[in-house]
Homo-oligomer: A and B are copies of this chain.
Amino acid sequence: MRISELSARSGVAIATIKYYLREGLLHQGEQVAATRAEYDDSHLRRLRLIRALLEVGRLPVAAIKQVVEAVEDETLPIHQVLGTAHYALGPTVEPEPGEAWDAALAEADRVVAGQGWTITPQAPTRAELAQTLLTLRRLGMSVDLTRYAETARRIARDDMDKIPIDAPRESAVEALVLGTVLYGRALDTLRRMAHESESAHRLGLVPAPEAPEARATGTDQSGPTG
Protein backbone atom coordinates (compact mmCIF):
# COMPACT_ATOMS: atom_id res chain seq x y z
CA MET A 1 0.00 0.00 0.00
CA ARG A 2 1.05 3.61 -0.43
CA ILE A 3 1.80 5.90 2.46
CA SER A 4 -1.61 7.54 2.05
CA GLU A 5 -3.37 4.21 2.55
CA LEU A 6 -1.08 3.35 5.47
CA SER A 7 -2.09 6.65 7.03
CA ALA A 8 -5.81 6.06 6.43
CA ARG A 9 -5.74 2.50 7.78
CA SER A 10 -3.61 3.30 10.83
CA GLY A 11 -5.17 6.66 11.66
CA VAL A 12 -1.66 8.14 11.87
CA ALA A 13 -1.03 11.35 9.89
CA ILE A 14 1.37 11.10 6.92
CA ALA A 15 3.68 13.72 8.47
CA THR A 16 3.86 11.64 11.66
CA ILE A 17 4.60 8.47 9.68
CA LYS A 18 7.43 10.31 7.90
CA TYR A 19 8.76 11.42 11.28
CA TYR A 20 8.78 7.81 12.55
CA LEU A 21 10.59 6.73 9.36
CA ARG A 22 13.24 9.43 9.85
CA GLU A 23 13.68 8.55 13.54
CA GLY A 24 14.03 4.86 12.73
CA LEU A 25 10.95 3.87 14.76
CA LEU A 26 9.28 2.56 11.62
CA HIS A 27 11.19 0.45 9.09
CA GLN A 28 11.45 1.78 5.53
CA GLY A 29 8.98 0.61 2.89
CA GLU A 30 10.05 -1.08 -0.31
CA GLN A 31 11.21 1.55 -2.81
CA VAL A 32 9.23 0.75 -6.00
CA ALA A 33 9.94 4.00 -7.81
CA ALA A 34 12.10 7.07 -7.20
CA THR A 35 9.31 8.82 -5.31
CA ARG A 36 7.19 5.89 -4.18
CA ALA A 37 7.53 3.27 -1.48
CA GLU A 38 5.26 0.32 -0.78
CA TYR A 39 4.19 -0.48 2.77
CA ASP A 40 2.64 -3.66 4.11
CA ASP A 41 0.98 -5.15 7.17
CA SER A 42 4.25 -5.14 9.10
CA HIS A 43 4.17 -1.34 8.93
CA LEU A 44 0.59 -1.23 10.12
CA ARG A 45 1.45 -3.48 13.05
CA ARG A 46 4.52 -1.44 13.94
CA LEU A 47 2.48 1.77 13.88
CA ARG A 48 0.00 0.22 16.31
CA LEU A 49 2.87 -0.76 18.60
CA ILE A 50 4.36 2.76 18.49
CA ARG A 51 1.02 4.47 19.14
CA ALA A 52 0.18 2.18 22.03
CA LEU A 53 3.56 2.75 23.69
CA LEU A 54 3.31 6.49 23.06
CA GLU A 55 -0.30 7.24 23.92
CA VAL A 56 -1.17 4.69 26.55
CA GLY A 57 2.27 3.73 27.82
CA ARG A 58 3.43 7.38 27.78
CA LEU A 59 6.93 6.24 26.88
CA PRO A 60 9.30 8.88 25.55
CA VAL A 61 10.31 8.45 21.88
CA ALA A 62 13.86 7.47 22.91
CA ALA A 63 12.51 4.58 25.01
CA ILE A 64 10.22 3.45 22.19
CA LYS A 65 13.20 3.44 19.87
CA GLN A 66 15.07 1.14 22.27
CA VAL A 67 12.09 -1.21 22.36
CA VAL A 68 11.69 -1.22 18.57
CA GLU A 69 15.38 -1.88 18.02
CA ALA A 70 15.21 -4.81 20.41
CA VAL A 71 12.12 -6.16 18.63
CA GLU A 72 13.91 -5.90 15.28
CA ASP A 73 17.16 -7.52 16.39
CA GLU A 74 16.44 -11.15 15.62
CA THR A 75 19.60 -12.34 17.30
CA LEU A 76 18.30 -11.18 20.68
CA PRO A 77 16.52 -13.82 22.73
CA ILE A 78 12.87 -12.90 23.40
CA HIS A 79 13.52 -12.63 27.11
CA GLN A 80 16.17 -10.01 26.51
CA VAL A 81 13.83 -8.05 24.23
CA LEU A 82 11.27 -8.06 27.00
CA GLY A 83 13.94 -6.96 29.45
CA THR A 84 14.73 -3.99 27.23
CA ALA A 85 11.07 -3.06 27.23
CA HIS A 86 10.75 -3.47 30.99
CA TYR A 87 13.81 -1.39 31.56
CA ALA A 88 12.65 1.31 29.13
CA LEU A 89 9.28 1.45 30.92
CA GLY A 90 10.67 2.44 34.27
CA PRO A 91 12.20 5.75 35.29
CA THR A 92 15.94 6.13 35.60
CA VAL A 93 16.77 6.19 39.27
CA GLU A 94 20.06 7.57 40.51
CA PRO A 95 21.32 5.76 43.62
CA GLU A 96 21.97 8.00 46.63
CA PRO A 97 25.23 6.56 47.98
CA GLY A 98 25.11 5.94 51.69
CA GLU A 99 24.04 3.51 54.36
CA ALA A 100 20.32 4.27 54.03
CA TRP A 101 20.42 3.52 50.30
CA ASP A 102 22.35 0.28 50.81
CA ALA A 103 19.83 -0.82 53.44
CA ALA A 104 16.90 -0.03 51.14
CA LEU A 105 18.49 -1.91 48.24
CA ALA A 106 19.17 -4.88 50.50
CA GLU A 107 15.53 -4.84 51.64
CA ALA A 108 14.35 -4.72 48.01
CA ASP A 109 16.56 -7.70 47.23
CA ARG A 110 15.19 -9.61 50.23
CA VAL A 111 11.63 -9.13 48.99
CA VAL A 112 12.63 -10.45 45.55
CA ALA A 113 14.51 -13.38 47.08
CA GLY A 114 11.53 -14.13 49.30
CA GLN A 115 9.41 -14.57 46.18
CA GLY A 116 12.06 -16.69 44.51
CA TRP A 117 12.06 -14.32 41.55
CA THR A 118 14.72 -14.34 38.89
CA ILE A 119 15.79 -10.74 38.37
CA THR A 120 19.07 -9.79 36.71
CA PRO A 121 21.47 -7.88 38.98
CA GLN A 122 21.50 -4.98 36.50
CA ALA A 123 17.70 -4.66 36.45
CA PRO A 124 16.88 -0.99 37.12
CA THR A 125 13.73 -2.09 38.94
CA ARG A 126 15.96 -2.90 41.94
CA ALA A 127 17.00 0.76 42.30
CA GLU A 128 13.43 1.88 41.63
CA LEU A 129 12.11 -0.24 44.46
CA ALA A 130 14.94 0.87 46.76
CA GLN A 131 14.15 4.52 46.07
CA THR A 132 10.48 4.07 46.88
CA LEU A 133 11.34 2.20 50.08
CA LEU A 134 13.82 4.86 51.14
CA THR A 135 11.26 7.60 50.57
CA LEU A 136 8.59 5.72 52.52
CA ARG A 137 11.00 5.20 55.43
CA ARG A 138 11.96 8.88 55.47
CA LEU A 139 8.31 9.84 55.61
CA GLY A 140 7.71 7.38 58.42
CA MET A 141 5.20 5.47 56.29
CA SER A 142 4.72 1.75 56.67
CA VAL A 143 4.55 -0.64 53.76
CA ASP A 144 4.10 -4.38 53.54
CA LEU A 145 6.10 -5.11 50.43
CA THR A 146 5.62 -8.85 50.71
CA ARG A 147 1.89 -8.39 50.34
CA TYR A 148 2.37 -6.21 47.27
CA ALA A 149 4.81 -8.75 45.89
CA GLU A 150 2.24 -11.55 46.29
CA THR A 151 -0.30 -9.41 44.47
CA ALA A 152 2.24 -8.57 41.75
CA ARG A 153 3.01 -12.26 41.31
CA ARG A 154 -0.67 -13.14 40.82
CA ILE A 155 -1.12 -10.28 38.37
CA ALA A 156 1.96 -11.18 36.35
CA ARG A 157 0.81 -14.80 36.06
CA ASP A 158 -2.64 -13.76 34.90
CA ASP A 159 -1.10 -11.32 32.44
CA MET A 160 1.24 -13.93 31.03
CA ASP A 161 -1.60 -16.39 30.58
CA LYS A 162 -3.13 -13.95 28.09
CA ILE A 163 0.05 -13.48 26.10
CA PRO A 164 0.73 -15.93 23.23
CA ILE A 165 4.33 -16.57 24.17
CA ASP A 166 4.71 -19.37 21.61
CA ALA A 167 3.44 -17.27 18.68
CA PRO A 168 5.91 -16.25 15.94
CA ARG A 169 8.74 -14.21 17.41
CA GLU A 170 7.59 -10.74 16.40
CA SER A 171 4.00 -11.28 17.53
CA ALA A 172 5.10 -12.81 20.82
CA VAL A 173 7.48 -9.97 21.54
CA GLU A 174 4.92 -7.33 20.67
CA ALA A 175 2.29 -8.99 22.79
CA LEU A 176 4.69 -9.22 25.74
CA VAL A 177 5.68 -5.57 25.49
CA LEU A 178 2.14 -4.34 24.95
CA GLY A 179 0.79 -6.56 27.70
CA THR A 180 3.28 -5.20 30.19
CA VAL A 181 2.45 -1.62 29.27
CA LEU A 182 -1.31 -1.78 28.73
CA TYR A 183 -2.25 -4.15 31.54
CA GLY A 184 -0.09 -2.07 33.88
CA ARG A 185 -1.89 1.08 32.81
CA ALA A 186 -5.30 -0.55 33.29
CA LEU A 187 -4.41 -1.73 36.79
CA ASP A 188 -2.98 1.62 37.84
CA THR A 189 -6.07 3.48 36.64
CA LEU A 190 -8.39 1.05 38.42
CA ARG A 191 -6.31 1.37 41.57
CA ARG A 192 -6.73 5.14 41.58
CA MET A 193 -10.47 4.70 40.98
CA ALA A 194 -10.67 2.27 43.89
CA HIS A 195 -8.76 4.77 46.04
CA GLU A 196 -11.19 7.54 45.14
CA SER A 197 -14.15 5.37 46.01
CA GLU A 198 -12.62 3.92 49.16
CA SER A 199 -11.68 7.33 50.51
CA ALA A 200 -15.18 8.65 49.77
CA HIS A 201 -16.62 5.84 51.85
CA ARG A 202 -14.12 6.13 54.69
CA LEU A 203 -14.66 9.87 54.88
CA GLY A 204 -18.36 9.13 55.19
CA LEU A 205 -19.37 10.97 52.02
CA VAL A 206 -21.39 8.04 50.71
CA PRO A 207 -22.50 4.77 52.24
CA ALA A 208 -20.16 1.85 51.64
CA PRO A 209 -21.33 -0.39 48.79
CA GLU A 210 -22.01 -4.02 49.37
CA ALA A 211 -19.36 -6.23 47.86
CA PRO A 212 -20.37 -7.66 44.47
CA GLU A 213 -20.49 -11.18 45.92
CA ALA A 214 -22.90 -10.00 48.62
CA ARG A 215 -25.05 -8.19 46.11
CA ALA A 216 -25.32 -11.24 43.94
CA THR A 217 -27.00 -13.11 46.76
CA GLY A 218 -29.26 -10.19 47.72
CA THR A 219 -32.98 -10.70 47.41
CA ASP A 220 -34.07 -7.28 46.20
CA GLN A 221 -31.65 -6.90 43.30
CA SER A 222 -33.78 -6.87 40.22
CA GLY A 223 -31.49 -4.88 37.91
CA PRO A 224 -28.36 -6.06 36.15
CA THR A 225 -25.35 -6.10 38.45
CA GLY A 226 -22.75 -5.26 35.79
| Pairwise interchain contact B152-A187, C-beta atoms closer than 8 A | yes
Q: Which of A20-28, A34-42, A61-69, A114-122 contacts B (4 or more CB under 8 A)?
A: A114-122
Contacts of A183 in B (CB 8 A): 143, 148
Bound CA–CA A188/B56 (angstroms): 15
| Pairwise interchain contact A155-B189, C-beta atoms closer than 8 A | no
Count class of interface residues, chain A: 35 or more
Does chain B have a CB within 8 A of A33?
no
| Pairwise interchain contact B114-A196, C-beta atoms closer than 8 A | no
Does chain B have a CB within 8 A of A12?
no
Contacts of A133 in B (CB 8 A): 186
| Pairwise interchain contact B118-A200, C-beta atoms closer than 8 A | yes
CB under 8 Å from chain B, chain A span 97-130: 110-120, 123, 125, 128-129
Contacts of A197 in B (CB 8 A): 115, 117-119, 156
Residue among A78, A117, A129 facing the most chain B CB atoms (10 A cut-off): A117
Q: Which of B187, B193, B195 contacts A191 (CB 8 A)?
A: B187
Does chain B have a CB within 8 A of A153?
yes
Q: Which of B56, B139, B165, B212 contacts A115 (CB 8 A)?
A: B212
| Pairwise interchain contact B193-A117, C-beta atoms closer than 8 A | yes
CB under 8 Å from chain B, chain A span 166-199: 175-176, 178-180, 182-199
Contacts of A13 in B (CB 8 A): none
Does chain B have a CB within 8 A of A55?
yes
Does chain B have a CB within 8 A of A219?
no
A82 to chain B, nearest CB (A): 5
Bound CA–CA A78/B202 (angstroms): 11
Bound CA–CA A187/B152 (angstroms): 7
